[in-house]
Structure 1
Amino acid sequence: MATLGRNNKILLDLVRKPGNNLCADCAAPEPDWASYTLGVFVCLNCSGMHRSLPTVSKVKSIRLDYWEDSLVEFMQERGNSAAKDIFEKCVPAFYYRPQLKDCAVLKDQWIRAKYERREFTGEHENFLQAYNSDLVETTLWKKGRDNKQFLKRIFLLSQKDFTLKYFIKGDSKVPKACITMKDLNANFQPEKIGHNHGLQISYLEGERTRNLFVYHEDGQPIVSFFNAIRATRLAYLLNIHPRLQNSDLIPQITRESLKEGYMEKTGPTQREPFKKRWFTLCFMNRKLLYYKSPLDATELGAVFIGTENHGYSVSESSGRGTRTSRWHCRITLETPERQFLFMCEHAQEQREWIEAFRKIISQPMTSEDYASRTMVFHRYHMRPFSGGGIDLDM
């Protein structure tokens, strides 16, 4: 006869072992739930997603629920590492493995792909081939460039010529845009876009960054499209860097912003009125972009962030004596030729922005960074920043 205390103690000892001490699906520490049909330990958040797959996964709390001896024995035999050998046997290098911080649709579809569709067990090659097809076509809802309305658009992803095109109508011969893989980036932004499946696609359009905001009503098509973009980006990077390994290129496939949010800014003389703007700081290209609103198609300005050795630094102070600003948590960003002044509403936001700036400033510059710096200096011709950027906001 099983006893609650004995079997729970066995499970608690088991979950502390390497491999089991992180959630099998999102790597969250100290999981305290388990799927007794799959033999994996998972966190509370992922356990809820497992419950949506009742024919595949059944979960219990390892602390509170009653466990029969046979179920405990199965958990001892299986565990996270053994389960990954089965359910993650053939995960492609480009496929994004969600972590604790990632949005729900990424984690949900990862769990469904592993356990429900069994995409990575080696049983179904058609799943993996779909991501690497020469052409991947999907229909998405896309936000208009100059309005808030989302309209259906057809997207065509080509691994043959490394492009992403979208069309206004299904019978259109000429795409509305043809985007190369060179500077394309895609990441999920559900809160910004206002949809659980919201995806932001960014690329260089001439001299400025262009943002597309799209979504699909269902989770599987948008996550599959995202991973198809990653597959195409990896193929492109391997094509231009044939001597590099996958491990060198994976971090470059897609990237998230280091920090995003509202701050207030003033102009070059610091006598101009402060204006509330949406800022995006990217670690990979060392650029601070800012927009009038989070869903703007193009940025108003850009600032390159170099290293301390090149004369860049950031500091904080109280801005209560600053005129025209409603906010009082000041950030001063020093560049070789200009001082930038920003205001945050709260001290916590101020600390987070300063930490993000310092993370970039402390990172040595690469040859690609020097090229990016030169482009920021010389690409723009309207109201250039003397400190390495452009301001179209004055």
Structure 2
Amino acid sequence: MSKRLRSSEVCADCSGPDPSWASVNRGTFICDECCSVHRSLGRHISQVRHLKHTPWPPTLLQMVETLYNNGANSIWEHSLLDPASIMSGRRKANPQDKVHPNKAEFIRAKYQMLAFVHRLPCRDDDSVTAKDLSKQLHSSVRTGNLETCLRLLSLGAQANFFHPEKGNTPLHVASKAGQILQAELLAVYGADPGTQDASGKTPVDYARQGGHHELAERLVEIQYELTDRLAFYLCGRKPDHKNGQHFIIPQMADSSLDLSELAKAAKKKLQSLSNHLFEELAMDVYDEVDRRETDAVWLATQNHSTLVTETTVVPFLPVNPEYSSTRNQGRQKLARFNAHEFATLVIDILSDAKRRQQGSPLSGSKDNVELILKTVNNQHSIENQDNEQPDYDSVASDEDTDLEAAASKANRQKSLDSDLSDGPVTVQEFMEVKNALVASEAKIQQLMKVNNNLSDELRIMQKKASRLEKQNSTPESDYDNTPNDRDPDDLGSSRKGRQRSMVWQGDGSVPDPAEPHAAPSPVLPSTEDVIRKTEQITKNIQELLRAAQENKHDSYIPCSERIHIAVTEMAALFPKKPKSDMVRTSLRLLTSSAYRLQSECKKTLPGDPGPPTDIQLVTQQVIQCAYDIAKAAKQLVTITTKENN
């Protein structure tokens, strides 16, 4: 990290004070609310990073700060600076404006439509104009004037432009001149450090030749940025490029599923992809890693006074209009991979990237990338034949809450690093690197706030429900406001009946006593009953979280059993075969999460078989299960309240 932000800095989009995020490719600082809109646009429009809670290469942050301080925002708001704009009623957003629609509409116009960028005079041949701009960029990068180059890039100059007369690219020129910040800007806009010029030299070669050693090392990092980011996501370490180590291939802590036929088939299909398709898939997975990590930072830095806010997380990768519909759908489906599935895919990509770079490519294949994603995603299904996980929607739901993303960062700590070149990393070393305990305590605090608010909401709903006449039979109606949450980690729908003393056994499956031939029932329980049971669940979750916060790990099992009883009683209120898909999905999430919670809590027993228990990892999983249970309970309250009113 570089210097602390000055208090005089304001959000580039609404002028709000103390912006805490940066749009890297736009060279601006933005506030939380505006950042939520940036993220919904996608990385192809705006690449956001938190200024304090995201790791930054120092020169990349210096590049963004330089652009911001030198008025890069005027590039994107050029026409708004014209007095005529004020007369015409066009203005930028204010801090007091609502996020939707005011700030969102302005930000989309500013960055997506480029409505305020200075337009060049129209010419018949656009390709000539783009070529001219690229030539200007080629000559400008030898200077330190970043905003000029950003302006040219905003108008259509190509960062990878190969100058026909000079025989090289802008990155070659910047590297030869030692302009490290220009190199950062060009790389953000897609410049390739591995490109050779007419004499066969790369930008790295020119940087070393000129004695610009810091720039040369940074260019190597940029060249391996994709695989470095994937490795760091799983194991918290990056390769030692200075000593010739360019890849880290993590291994799963639990490799039992890696031997499945589906896993082998997925890996084989991945290896048979052409280099072009493999690169596309790797870039899509990179974008998904960025989404998950940014969601985790978002969750950790927001005020969680409500379960769902208008500035919520981004539940899946936004559509990129430059990609085909098939590719966009495949990108969205990545969000539905649970931690184990996604880690498996990431490891396979890292392994195959290393193999391809070493020069042993397999023959090309027409296998669809989406088929590979489905194969990887179905690895867990073979372990549980009762799991009737439906196929993914062609367009992912855009109303998923931020609770799923909260656990994604914790979940991935199941995968421990065992680097091929410098030996295995112990659990203790890994946890020290990731500061898991600090993260756990932060998430506990967040979840405490979430559940406190849930209790308040339930009390309000209960008061409203007490004034309503019970309606125990209501025709089924459409319901649009509950997230379509088909959790890939669900182990199947489980309904337990009313036996208070029954406890699920950790046998790897969730019982489902639902009558297979029962007719679907539209009848839902009263809102009062659902609220009452949800209050019991919430109270027990809070007790569990207090135990985690105070390191009372021996209280995990009794708390989880009380939560299980409350979940069982709540599930028993509903028909054995609900007609509503949303009810079935919420019940599945509720009951399977309670089962997983018990399984995780049992790992704290001294005599628990298997490898030594890392209590911090267990706590991470306990927190995730608690999120899922609270989320499912609220969904059921919301559904029954709507239906019974």
TM-score (norm 1): 0.33
User: When you count helix as a share of all residues, which structure comes out higher?
Assistant: 2
User: When you count strand as a share of all residues, which structure comes out higher?
Assistant: 1
Bigger Cα Rg: 2
Q: Which structure carries more relative contact order (alpha carbon 8 Å, separation 6+)?
A: 2
